């Protein structure tokens, strides 16, 4: 028998939710229902039980990674004879629109910040690094918003590089989903956190230049990466459901960029939501986001009801 047909060549160890939950050990859950309501995104029904089963064990794992990385940094500094400041541990979170990246990022920020050592944890999304709508319109990229070419990649790279280098008061631009645009002059300041969570659609992208030239990518600065995964039909369902919930809430404000969608019929709204999903978000998923999944250190796979089905951890 050809042994290649029976051996497992996957670089991941795959856990059911039940098996993964046992890895929580005795880690206490310090979040309550009020915290969860504040942290979870619209149309993301994550429960406290699932937080304990999935995200608490993950925070425990990350605590080990952070400690090990800090020790490695100290060893390297001793070897080099340098006395540089401690650099932050950077966690990248990627995945499709409507998949639950934002909820995962906020949950991990809250859980990690409540370790006994009380580390300083910051969260930044790549939305702020999108090119302004005026630039996207000028370059005919409005229908490619969220695709790699719609970001200020130089600014993205400079930000992550500066944070990783331990520089003080690094600024990141702010994006408004209400106005669907970058807010001019608005920034957040990141000042030497212990942990930085960096969340976005395409943060795990990389390159393999044929001539061996080093082309740095944001993902090169990550110490750990997570991909939120789900079937395409589930992602479409979640996207459409979220669109209709926003249509009944935020879109009703006349100041919203999407106000017009609250004024059309339900049939037109469904047609619009499906078109936006198929022509923009699904295309981006297939072309750019999904191909980065194998680069992740950990993959959280969700079932159609949004609950976590499996957790895949890259073998060390």
Q: What is the DSSP string of 170-230?
A: EEEEEEETTTTEEEEEEEEEE---SEEEEE-TTTT-----TT------GGGG-SEEEEEE-
Structure tokens at 117: 């050592």
pLDDT tens-digit map of 121-156: 999 999 999 999 999 999 999 999 999 999 999 999
pLDDT digits (tens, 9 = 90+) for 4-25: 455 678 999 999 999 999 999 9
Q: For position 41, what pLDDT does the model report?
A: 84
- What is the pLDDT, as a whole number, of residue 298? 98
Q: State the chain's mean pLDDT as an integer.
A: 93
Question: What's 10-314's CATH class?
Answer: alpha beta
Q: For the chain, what are the domain ranges?
A: 10-314
Average pLDDT over residues 90-117: 95
pLDDT in tens, 24-58: 998 889 999 999 999 988 778 899 999 999 999 99
Alpha carbons within 13 A on the beta-carbon side of 286: 9
- pTM value? 0.93
The C-alpha atoms of residue 168 and residue 191 are separated, in whole angstroms, by 5
pLDDT for the residue 76: 87
More confident residue, 69 or 197: 197
Give the per-residue pLDDT at 259.
96
Tell me, what's the pLDDT at 305?
94
Contacts of 29 (CB under 8 A, 6+ apart): 48, 51, 52, 56
pLDDT at 208 over 70: no
User: Are β-strands 121-125 and 195-199 bridged in parallel, bridged antiparallel, or unpaired?
Assistant: parallel
- From the number of C-beta atoms within 10 Å of its C-beta (0-12, 13-18, 19+), residue 223 rates as buried
Closest residue by Cα to residue 147 from 220, 190, 76, 96 = 96
Q: What percent of the chain is modeled with pLDDT above 70?
A: 94
pLDDT digits (tens, 9 = 90+) for 212-237: 666 678 999 999 999 999 999 999 99
- Angle between helix 266-276 and helix 232-247 axes, rounded to 10 deg: 140
Q: What are phi and psi of 190, to 5 degrees?
A: -110, 115
Q: What is the pLDDT of residue 213?
A: 66
Instruction: Give CA–CA dist 308/218, Å, rounded.
Output: 27
DSSP 238-268: HHHHHHHHHHTTGGGSTTSTTGGGGSS-HHH
* Mean pLDDT for the stretch of residues 182-193: 96
Least confident of 155-164, 210-219, 296-305: 210-219
Average pLDDT over every residue of 101-123: 94
Tokens 């297939």, residue located: 286
Q: What residues have CB less than 8 Å from 85, skipping those under 6 apart? A: 166, 192
Q: What is the pLDDT of residue 216?
A: 78
The token duo for 230 is 């789900």
Please tell me the distance from the alpha carbon of residue 169 to that of residue 162, in angstroms, as a whole number.
Answer: 9
CA distance 198 to 105: 8
Residue 1 has pLDDT above 60, yes or no: no
Contacts (Cβ under 8 Å, ≥6 apart) of 189: 169, 170, 171, 172
**Nearest 5 degrees, angle CA 153-CA 159-CA 163?**
150
pLDDT digits (tens, 9 = 90+) for 242-278: 999 999 999 999 999 999 999 999 999 999 999 999 9
């Amino acid at each position: 028998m050809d042994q290649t047909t029976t051996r497992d060549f996957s670089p991941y160890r795959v856990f059911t939710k039940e098996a993964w939950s046992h890895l929580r050990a005795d880690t206490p859950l310090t979040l309550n229902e009020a915290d969860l309501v504040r942290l979870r995104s619209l149309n993301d029904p994550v429960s406290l039980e699932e937080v304990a089963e999935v995200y608490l064990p993950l925070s425990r794992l990350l605590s080990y990674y952070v400690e090990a990385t800090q020790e490695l940094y100290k060893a390297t500094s001793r070897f080099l004879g340098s006395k540089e400041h401690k650099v932050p541990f950077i966690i990248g979170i990627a995945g499709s629109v409507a998949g639950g990246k934002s909820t995962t990022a906020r949950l991990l920020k809250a859980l990690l910040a409540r370790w006994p050592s009380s580390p300083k944890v910051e969260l930044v999304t790549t939305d702020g690094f999108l090119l302004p709508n005026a630039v996207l319109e000028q370059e005919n990229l409005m229908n490619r918003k969220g695709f790699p070419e719609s970001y200020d990649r130089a600014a993205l790279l400079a930000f992550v590089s500066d944070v990783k280098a331990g520089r003080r008061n690094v600024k990141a631009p702010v994006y408004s989903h209400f106005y669907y645009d970058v807010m001019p002059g608005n920034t957040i300041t990141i000042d030497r956190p212990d942990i930085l969570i960096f969340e976005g659609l395409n943060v795990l992208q990389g390159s393999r230049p044929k001539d061996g030239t080093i082309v740095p990518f944001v993902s090169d600065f990550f110490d750990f990466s997570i991909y939120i995964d789900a079937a395409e039909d589930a992602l479409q369902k979640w996207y459409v459901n979220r669109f209709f919930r926003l249509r009944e809430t935020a879109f009703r404000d006349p100041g919203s960029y999407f106000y017009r969608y609250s004024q059309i019929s339900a049939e037109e709204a469904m047609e619009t939501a499906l078109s936006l999903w198929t022509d923009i978000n699904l295309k981006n998923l297939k072309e750019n986001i999904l191909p980065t999944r194998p680069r992740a250190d950990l993959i959280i796979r969700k079932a159609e009801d949004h609950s976590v089905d499996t957790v895949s951890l890259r073998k060390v």
